[in-house]
Amino acid sequence: MEFDFNSLFAFIIFGVTIGVVYGMVALGISLIYSGLDIVHFAHGEIYMFGAFFGLVMAKDMSIPYPAALIGAMILAGLMGMLIERVFYRRLTRSGGGYTVAGMGMIICGFGMSVALMNVAFLIWGADAKPFSINLGMPLQISNISIPQSYLLTAVVSFALMGLLHFFLKYTKIGLAVRAVAQNKDIAYLMGINVPVFISLIFGLACALAAAAGVFRANAVGPGGDGLSDADESLRRSSCWRIRQSPRSTAGRNPGWHI
């Protein structure tokens, strides 16, 4: 039996595409974990809401796909900041990790997950929604047809990771974010508004999840609750920190230090 290299190449492309989507969700989980020392268990629902935001703007409002992607990221980012400010702020002030507040944050995250899941059910129902965007003819390489959506997902995802890397390492705001992740008390003494930057961390993480949701929904439709993909991303993000992302997606430790 002759080995089919075309099928192998097609599976590699598909795997890279799905992998970068998981990577963006995992980066968001890692950002929140690094900043607050807690795991945000409602992140899968933010991922799901991002997909539905993109669906509504692209299909119902006839907004071009790139603008719908950016709009979904903005809405999900604002949604994450609102959730942090209204529901999580009192708990995050008392710390995370294995403290009482940290355990309360985990329970609150589970509750937020259930609440967001049911809100989405009430708005959009339980049926999967078609989310197919015509991006042109597939790219033909030998006997393999590569959908344009796969290429767009991979290119934009790596671009977003690169922008996140540049933002965290080379901007003053990114330096402040890393300082808050390193030590909130020292950051506060240095004049950094810690609550504002915690909200910013939540917003960035939720925006990344929304981008991943839009890309994933364009491939399979925005049905489901996001839990299976979020669970995979949680496993990938378990050892990541702000000082290591986003290049840790490639298995490297860039050795960031504040």
What pLDDT digit, counting tens, does each position of 176-189 carry? 988 888 888 888 88
pTM metric for this prediction? 0.79
For 17-36, write each residue's pLDDT tens digit: 888 888 888 888 888 887 77
- CA nearest neighbour of 153 among 22, 5, 10, 246: 22
pLDDT value of residue 94? 61
Q: Which long-range CB contacts under 8 A does 161-169 form with residues at least 24 apart? A: 161/20, 161/23, 161/24, 161/27, 161/246, 161/247, 161/249, 162/246, 164/27, 164/204, 164/208, 164/245, 164/246, 165/245, 165/246, 165/247, 168/242, 168/245, 168/256, 169/256
Q: Does residue 51 have a pLDDT over 80? A: yes
pLDDT value of residue 96? 55
For 97-115, write each residue's pLDDT tens digit: 556 556 777 788 888 889 9
pLDDT value of residue 219? 66
